[in-house]
Structures are given as C-alpha cells and as structure tokens.
Structure 1
Amino acid sequence: MFEKIEGFIAFFSPWIWDWPLLILLIGGGLFFLIYSRFTPFFYFRHAIQVLGGKYDNEEAPGQLSHFQALSSAIAATVGMGNISGVAIAIVTGGPGAIFWMWISALIGMATKFYTCSLSVMYRSKDEDGKLLSGPMYVIMNGLGEKWKPLAVFFALAGLVGTLPAFTANQLTQTLVDVMNWGDGSKLYIGLVLAVIASMVILGGIKRIGLVASKLVPSMVILYFITVFTILIIQIDVVPQMFMLIFSDAFSGEAAEGGALGYLVKTGIKRAAFSNEAGIGTAPMMHGTAKTNEPIREGLVAMIGPAIDTLLVCTLTALAILSTGVWQYTDGNGISLTLEAFNSVLPYGLGDIVVVIMVLVFAFSTLFSHSYYGTVCLGFLTKPKYGKYYNYVYIIFIVIAAVVKIDFAINLIDSAFALMAIPTVVSGLILAPKVNAFAKEYFKKV
C-alpha cells in the first residue's frame, strides 16, 4: 500500500511542478513587482526600522510583535531548505539552479509583500478573540462566500504541506551520518525528536513566537560565521564559483538530462521550499502581528526571501561548490552539505557545527510549521479544534524519520504546489486593494 502511495507521489510531484504552475508563481510575482512599480523595494530601510521595533504598539491587535512574526516565519524557511535543499538543488539541477533561486527570491519579495499585507487586511478572530489569518481567510473575507471552495482547497493542501516530512527526515539523517548509528536507530531518534518538539508545539503560537525570536538570530549568526570561515579558507576559488553559477544557469549542462528547462524548474522549486513566497504559509504567521497597518507587515515580510534565499542559500551554495565535493560524491541533501563542511574544516569540527546548525534550524522549522497546520485544521472545522492537528504532527515526526528522502521531498513539493494556486490567484485578484492601502500608507511615511 505504502509503495503505491510512494509511486503516485513520485509521479505527481514533477507533473504538478511543470510550466503552468511555474508561470503562475513567477508570472504572478512579476505582476506584483511591476504592478507595485517596485515601490516596496524603495522602503526597505523603513522595513528594517519596523522590524527593529520603532513602530511597535503593544495595544494593537495581534499576538506577536513584528520581530517575532518575522522570526517565526523565517524559522520555518531558514531551516533545512537552506542547508539540505540547496544541496539537493545543486545535485539535481547543477550550480546554475542557484541563479534561478536568486531570480525566484527577488520576485518572491514582491509576492510576500502582497500576500502578507492581505493577511493582515483580511484576518479573522476565533471565539477567544485571537487573530487568525492566511490565504483561506483572505479568500473568504476578501473575495466572499462563493470562493469558499478555493479556501477549503488551500486548507486541505496545507494539512499535508505543513507536515514535518522533509525536516524530520533530514534531521534524523544528520544524526545517523554523524554518529554512525545506522538506519535502525532512525525510529528511536524520531521518538526523541517528537517528545522534544511537543514541549514547544503544544504551548501554542505565543510560545512558538517567543522561542523562534530567541533561536533565529543566534542560529543565523552562527551559520554565517561557519560558512564565512569555509569561504575564507577557499577564497581563491570563490570567484570561480560565482562565474560557474552564472555560466551554468543558461546551459543546463550539469542538470539531470542536460535540460535547461529542468534546471530552471529545479531552481524555482527549491527557492519556493526555501522562502515559501507564494505558497501561503508565511501569511498565516505575519497575519498575527500586532499592528493596524497591513502594509507595514507586508514590508517586514518582504525581508524574509532576502535573508533566507539571497543570503543564507547563497552562502551554503558557495560553501558546497567551493569544496568540489558535489562533483564526485553520491551524497544528497544533508549528507552532501556535511561532506562539504568536513572537507575543509578541521577533523570532527564539521560534524559538530552541522549537527548544532541542523538541530536549531530543524526544530525552529518544526515549531512554526505545526502552527500553520493548526490554522488549516481550525479553518476546516472550528478554530478551537485546530490544536488537535498538533498530535497528528507529532506522530508524523516519527514516521518522517524513517521514510526515504525522495518521498519526503516529493510529498512536500506536491502539497506546496497545490497551496500556491489559491494563494497567488487570490493575491492577483485583490492586488488593487493592497495598492490602495499602500498609497495611503506611504503618504503617511
């Protein structure tokens, strides 16, 4: 039975991630970029000021500060997609896939500005007065009852897309590789991970936001220090790696089958997993920010792709490419990243650093994604029942620890593709509303 499911997912993932969906994601992002006349990019400094707390208002409706909302959203994106996902992009698409990740991220910044502004404009309240947001509430409150099937479609896909399949799988694989425990230990690792994750997950959105705001800054700084160390050691080849990324971006020679189209699709797909722009998860978190200004939170959300894809993914890619291990190893995902770090850093240090990074990155992602799932289930039933998703989520951590990496990647990719359709479609229809709000807000600024 499981083999049939595995086979279907393996067929469905590349099918759904074909040109129509890529045109929707990239074409939609380009529309947002041009329709906004690039205006949000001119206020990047203002976005940083908002993030720093200059405009925080404790009396404003919401559960999280601007910083906590972005930290929680980044906690979901600056994770295994940046360490493991980049390695997968290089193995399957070649160095040129990184270039298309950059393009996707730049366009994704505009997408996040629109979708996350809408998430504040059209948020709802549960029976306890807590704010709820996300594409499904944007669709219901912004487009009306007749669009409910599209909202339900997103929430159903979200129940799968927010599962910890990829994250728990790669975290387990890291521990197995470093500790030499063998595949038989994966089940026990999964059980331990489930217990640890449940301590934060069951505490709700405020505990997730608090933990994420403490973890994210420190994990990003530590990761930067490690990767910069590798790049300094390999400084003589780093310029060549940049040239390799650009030259391979339009040749596709290193991609599977030597196809340029496959290379472009790989880059965009991995960027979507990295920054989730257009997927619809980040709006669920940003919509809980304490603010009365939707545009303000849209600007903060725009910072996300810049950090997790343009910055963190680029550093990971240069570290892997500069070592050259990607050319002669059979490793994929986290195993390749681990091999690259170990090839440069002193013996044993690479293992230690990667384990620390993966633990922090993976747990922060697990915490945020669990919240997204509760919001989806709450929308499909009642908000008070959303919390029961956490128990399914915790059980799935154990399951994800023992499945094959290909199944984990294909499952999440498939769900993300389905989630993107209602997110981008609703964003395109309601874009004029965002522009109207933005015009008024930027006048005040």
Structure 2
Amino acid sequence: MLDFLNDLLWGKVLLVLLIAVGVGFTLASRFVQFRYFGQMFRILGASQAFRRDKHGHLSSFQALVLSVAGRVGGGNIAGVAVAITLGGPGAIFWMWVVGLMGMATSFLECTLAQTYKEAEADGTYRGGPAYYISRGLGQRWRWLAAVYSVLLLATFGFAFTALQSYAVATSFGDAFGVPVLYSGLGLALIVGLIIFGGIKRIARISEVLVPFMAGGYLLIALLVLGLNIEKIPDVIVLIVKSAFGLEPAIGGGIGAAIMMGVKRGLFSNEAGLGSAPNVAAVAYVPHPANQGIVQAFSVFIDTVVICSATAFMILLSGVYDPTSASDVAGIALTQASMADHVGEWGRTFVSLALLLFAFSTILYNYYLGENSLNYFSRDNQTLFNAFRVAIVLLVCWGATTDLGTVFGFADVTMGLLAVANLVALILLFKSGLRILKDFDGQRRQGIERPIFNAKDHPELNLDPQAWELAPEDLERAHRTLGNTPATSRG
C-alpha cells in the first residue's frame, strides 16, 4: 500500500502540481527568482546589521539559516547518492530543474507566510501554510489548514526527527565505532538543552552552526572539483544526456531519472512542502516579498550548490559506474567517493558532515512540530513542554531502531503534505502576485527597501499587529511614501 501511494503521489500527482506552481509562478512573476537574485544579497546584508534581535524579533538572516538548517540535511549527502543510484546521473538534471522552479515556489509560499503571519502575546510571530490557508482562503478552508497541521506534525515533528536521529547514530557508529545507544543519548541531551530554550535559542545556535557546516562541506567539494577540473565538462555532458535517456545507465532510464530527481529534489529543498514558510514567518521584514526573495535563495543554496557538490564528488570518483550495478549506495556511496578523492579520512569527514546536517535538521523539525501544535492550541507552554520531552525520547528511540517502515510512511505523508500546500498555493496565486506587484511598484519608484502598508490590502484579512513597523522603517516610510503605512512597534 505504501509503495502504491508513493508511486501515485510522486510519479503523477506531485509532478503535475509542482510544474503547475513552479513554472506557472515563474512565468506569471516574470521570473522573479532570477530578477531579484542580486537583491538576495542586499537584503541579507541589511539584515545582518540587525540580526542581533534589535526589536525582539528574528531577522531575515536568522530565518534564512533556520530554513537552510532544515533544507540542508541527509538529503544533500545520502539522498543525492540514492537519486544517482536509482535514477542514474540524469536524476541530477531533474533535481536542478526542481530547484530552479522551486525557487519561485518558495518565493510564493514564504511571501504568503509573511503576509498572513500572526502576532503572539510575547511579541513573536507565527505563520505558515495553516495560517495562510485559514486567513487567505477563509473559514470554509479551515479543514485543509487542520489537515496540513496534522501532516506537518506527523512528518516533520515525529517521523523525520526519528529518521535524522537514526542517520546520525548509524553514521557515527560506522565512522568511530560508537554504539548507537550512546550516540542517541548524547544527541538527545544536546537537542533537549537547545529546544527548551525556544525558537530564539534555536536561531542563535543555527546562525553559528549552519554557515560553519555548509561552508566546510563546500570547501572540501571545491578541493575535489579542483583536483578533477579537466573531467567536469564530461560529467556535465553525462548528466544532461542521461536526463533525456541518451546515455546507458542503471536506474530505469528517463522515467526513473525524472521521478528520482523530482522526489529527491523536493525532499532536499522542500520547496512546495510548506515547511520553510513556518520559519520564514517568524522574521521581521518591512515587506513580505523580502522574505520570499531570501527564501528563494535558500533553495538555490540547497539544491544548486550543495546537492550539486555531492553529485559531482560521486560522479568524478572511480567508485560510481553508471553502466553497471553496484552494492555501494546511499551514504556509503558518498563516503566511498570522498575516500577515493582525498583518502580514508574522507569517510570520517562525510560522517561528521552528516552529523551536523542531521543535527541542525532535528532542531528545525522540532520547530515545525511546535508550530503545528500552536495552530490548534495557541502558545500553550504545557503542551510545548510535553512535545519537547517527546522529541528527546524520540531522538533516543530513533537512534536505536530500524526505521524502514517509518521512512516509507514519511514519504507518503510528505507527499500528502505537499499536495495540500500546493493546492493552497494555486488558490492563493493571485494574492501572491498582488504582494509582488506592490514590491515591484515601489522598486520602480526607486525605493531600495520597499515597505508594506497592510492598510492598502483590507481584502487580505491580515493581522494588523503583525504589520506594525519598526521605528526606523516607519520613519523611512514617512520620508519615501509620504504617508503612515502602519503604527510603530517601538
């Protein structure tokens, strides 16, 4: 039954929906992910200056590293290897396509998450698909918001947390001989110390950990590429030819290449799942499109940069042979490929990278679970604390248990999660374009950092408290727009 549902969701339904949303919004927005690619760096540069929680909220930079912490995980190391093993090198081409389309999808869903976010009693924000479904689509769609929240809790809060713990413990055991029980206990202790500090502590840990882990992995990848620079054009040709069935490869030909590329691409970058919008909504930004642009960049980092780094390391090695079957697959293929390039210490490096990637993803998964619970019971600290205890226990259990069935279940629930979110994005397509039009209009007027006036959009049913501007942005609004777009938060 799980196999049947997986084939239906990933082989047919999601393929159509992902193309409809990704290509549709790319065209309707006039290629927003490429038009504002340079703007991504300027927004982050401005965000860096205020990232130390100047007004009690998270910045775009902190929201970015949180989303990268979730997007960059086992899928970037083991998932890419699985895609190549089952779909051939051509799966990487379709992973790139999913990533580039996913940048537009991520812009749409994260812009909507910012637009429809809600202010909490402690001054923080909450948001995500459940919120933009219930506020943007109205009361008659609250059932879809509830279904999405349940699926989010089951998929990320529980299943993926256990899977990441299993990946850390088994990889650590293979590399250093540490029993999985001890790895699980140690991981659970560290996770517990962090998650009981709430979203701000998770953000502070992530803004140190994520640049370190991603930067270190990319440095090694650049070293490998430099050692094999003359082979890179041949690998690119192999990827493109395999994508269209023009190259003999194990994995079932073009159909398998497309399915594995789409599946692993979405699994890795999460664009369309609606997971990242839960984090995108917590940041303070002067305009929702700012966060959409930044989150589109996180998809680029994940898929086009880090997944490609893993793919090239595998395809440039002497371990993978596309013309014959091999017993080496998954994380073992990535480890063997790294060892082939730099020596046996490469296996240890991959294990350490997976440890850091999976650890950051566990923190991200926890927050998604907490946010789904918050939709049903607002700011219930007793419920949150019970969930935190459950996560600590789940980390211990996941480290010591064979999770084959859990993985199959998570694939199905993730597929259903994506369907629910993509349907909502299609229904909210016009709202996303309206927000983008507001941003584009201000940019054409020469305003470098547009400001969102919630009062100009009464039809959107927004939370006015969530759109109170910081004093410096309110002052800037007076100077540039000549009106008062909102009250000050200061």
Report Cα offsets for 1:34-79 as digits up to 9, x if no partner.
1112134212111211112259668998731110000000011112
Q: 1:415 aligns with which of 413, 416, 427?
A: 413
Q: 2:433 is matched with which residue?
A: 435
Whether 2:254 is the aligned partner of 1:254: answer no
The residue type equivalent to 1:400 in the other structure is G
* Residue matched to 2:150: 156
Does the CA-based 8 Å contact 2:48-2:61 persist in structure 1?
Answer: no
Cα shift readout 1:383-433 (whole Å, capped 9, x = no counterpart): 323443222222222232234464354233222211112211221211212
Map of 1:93 onto structure 2: 87
Separation in structure 2 between the aligned mates of residue 389 and residue 38 of structure 1, nearest angstrom: 41
Asked whether the 8 Å contact 1:96–1:245 carries over to 2, the reply is: yes
Deviates more, 1:294-303 or 1:188-197: 188-197
1:373 corresponds to which residue? 369
Q: Tell me the distance in 2 between the aligned counterparts of 1:108 and 1:390.
A: 31
Number of aligned residues: 433
Instruction: Output one character per residue of 1:74-100: Cα deviation in whole Å (capped at 9) or x when no partner.
Output: 011112111111111111111110000
- Aligned 8 A contact 1:90 1:326 in 2: no
Deviation for aligned residue 1:285:
0.3
- 1:382 equivalent in structure 2: 378
Alignment of 1:277 with 2:271, yes or no, is: yes
**Shift, 1:236, TM fit:** 3.4
Aligned to 1:4: none
* TM-score, normalised via structure 2 length: 0.83
TM-fit CA distance, 1:323: 0.8
Change (3 A) 1:434 1:147: same
Quote the Cα distance in structure 2 between the aligned partners of 1:213 and 1:408.
30
Deviation at residue 11 of structure 1 after TM alignment: 4.6
Of 218-227 and 60-69, deviating more is: 60-69
Mark the structure with the bigger radius of gyration: 2
Query: Matches of 2:151 and 2:136 in 1, distance apart?
Result: 20
Q: In the alignment, which of 43, 53, 59 is matched to residue 46 of structure 2?
A: 53
Q: Do residues 391 (structure 1) and 389 (structure 2) align?
A: yes
The whole-number CA distance in structure 1 between the counterparts of 2:418 and 2:133 is 13
Q: For residues 28 and 56 of structure 2, what CA distance do their matches in structure 1 show? A: 29
User: 1:173 and 2:166 equivalent?
Assistant: no
Find the partner of 1:13 among 6, 15, 21.
Answer: 6
Q: Which moved more, 1:280-289 or 1:76-85?
A: 76-85
Paired amino acid for 1:34: L
In the alignment, which of 32, 36, 40 is matched to residue 29 of structure 2?
Answer: 36
Task: Return closer, same or farther for 1:199/1:269 CA change in 2, 3 Å cut-off.
Answer: same
Q: What is residue 351 of structure 1 aligned with on the other side?
A: 347
Structure 1 stretches (4+) deviating beyond 4 angstroms?
A: 54-62
Corresponding residue to 1:240 among 234, 245, 250: 234
Q: In 2 relative to 1, CA 110–231 (structure 1 residues): closer, same or farther, beyond 3 Å?
A: same
Cα displacement (A) at 1:443: 2.4
What is the deviation of 1:170? 1.7
Distance of 2:107 and 2:343 partners within structure 1: 42
Aligned-pair CA distance for 1:275: 0.6
Distance change (3 Å), C-alpha of 1:190 and 1:406: same
> SS of the counterpart of 2:293?
helix
The amino acid across from 1:382 in the alignment is R
CA distance in structure 2 between the aligned counterparts of 1:33 and 1:310, rounded to whole angstroms: 17
Shift in alpha-carbon separation, 1:52–1:350, aligned structure 2, 3 A? same
* Separation (CA, whole Å) in 1 of partners of 2:113 and 2:418: 15
Amino acid in structure 1 at the alignment position of 2:35: F
Deviation at 1:9, TM superposition (A): 3.8
Q: What amino acid does structure 1 have at the position aligned with 2:375?
A: F
Q: 1:265: Cα distance to partner?
A: 1.1
Q: Deviations over 1:1-60 (max 9, x none)?
A: xxxxxxx54553333323112211222211111111213421211121111225966899
Question: 2:147 and 2:47 mapped to 1: Cα distance?
Answer: 38
Amino acid at match of 1:32: F
Q: Which deviates more, 52-61 or 42-51?
A: 52-61
Q: Secondary structure at the match of 2:316?
A: helix
Per mean C-alpha deviation after superposition, the further-off stretch among 430-439 and 144-153 is 430-439
- Mapping for residues 296-375 of structure 1, pairs under 5 Å: 296-327=290-321, 329-347=326-344, 349-375=345-371
Q: What does 1:97-136 align with in structure 2 at a 5 Å threshold? A: 97-136=91-130
Distance 1:386 1:137 in 2: 19
Q: Distance in 2 between matches of 1:273 and 1:245?
A: 20
* Mapped contact 1:47–1:300 kept (Cα < 8 A): yes
C-alpha change, 1:260 and 1:404, in structure 2 (3 Å) is farther
Residues in 2 aligned to 1:409 and 1:210: alpha-carbon distance in whole angstroms: 30
Is the partner of 1:331 in helix, strand or coil? coil
The answer as to whether partners of 1:174 and 1:355 remain within 8 angstroms in 2 is yes
**CA distance in 2 between partners of 1:217 and 1:398 (Å):** 27
Relative to structure 2, which stretch is displaced further, 51-60 or 397-406?
Answer: 51-60
Q: Secondary structure at the match of 1:53?
A: helix
State the partner residue of 1:203: 197
**CA offset at residue 281 of structure 1?**
0.6
In 2, Cα distance between equivalents of 1:154 and 1:145: 15
**CA distance change for structure 1 residues 178 and 39 in 2, over 3 Å: closer, same or farther?**
closer
Report the AA paired with residue 249 of structure 2.
A
Is contact 2:116–2:132 with CA below 8 Å preserved after alignment?
yes
Q: Which moved more, 1:398-407 or 1:82-91?
A: 398-407
1:289 to 265, 283, 289: 283
Cα distance in 1 for partners of 2:32, 2:20 equals 18
- Contact in 2 for aligned 1:56/1:65 (Cα 8 Å): no
CA distance in 1, matches of 2:329, 2:163: 13
Structure 1 unaligned spans of 5+: 1-7
Return the alpha-carbon distance in structure 1 between the equivalents of residues 282 and 56 of structure 2.
5
SS in 1 for 2:200: helix
Which protein has greater RCO, CA pairs closer than 8 Å, 6+ apart? 1
**133 and 267 in structure 1: CA distance in 2 versus 1, 3 angstrom threshold:** same
Specify the alignment match of 1:22 in structure 2. 15
Q: Percent identity?
A: 34
